[in-house]
Amino acid sequence: MRCRAGQCAPLKGTTMADVNRGNRPLSPHLTIYRPQWTSITSILVRITGNALLVAGLLIVWWFVAAATGPAAFALADGVLTSWFGKLVMLGSIWALWYHSLGGLRHLVWDSGRMLDVASSERAGQAMVALSVVLTIITVIIL
């Protein structure tokens, strides 16, 4: 820090807060760990939750189109029931069940249960298996 007449400025090539910025050892990050059931199933909860925005907005469009009239509905309904729309909906059904099971796991954790590694791993495996089963059941029913 260099000060003159009450005005202070950081030294050249440094910032005020930390002169060693960018030159410190970093803690290990994602790339260094072997994938685990706990980490992967947790990351997937986040990905599925955000990806569901696509289906969510498509469904909003479908409702707005239905409220607008037959012509607008025909377009939105055509997109949602096209092969691409069906693919998005199929993926979203799995994402929805998976994310719901992930939320259920969080509620169980919040109650103080199943917090040990073995239970968490088993819950993760159950989420993957159950989400696939629920998706198949949904496709059969609908």
Partner 1 sequence: MAFLTDRKRAVGMGSAKSGTHHHWQMMVTSVALLVLIPLFVFTFGTILGAPYAEVIAYYQRPFPAVVAILTMLVGFFHFRLGVQTVIEDYVHGFARKAAIIFMICLSYAAAGFAVFAIIRIAL
CB of 51 to partner 1, least distance (A): 11
Site for partner 1 contains 77 (CB under 8 A):
yes
Site for partner 1 contains 42 (CB under 8 A):
no
Considering only residues 87 to 126 of the shown chain, the ones binding partner 1 according to CB under 8 A are 89, 93, 96, 100, 103-104, 106-107, 110
Site for partner 1 contains 78 (CB under 8 A):
no
At 65, list the tokens: 């189109």
Site for partner 1 contains 50 (CB under 8 A):
yes
Among residues 102, 109, 108, 106, the alpha carbon closest in space to that of 44 is found at 102
Residue with tokens 């599925």: 48
- Rg (C-alpha) for the chain, rounded Å, is 25
Among 14, 36, 81, 125, binds partner 1 (CB under 8 A): 81
Cβ–Cβ under 8 Å, residues 118 and 77: no
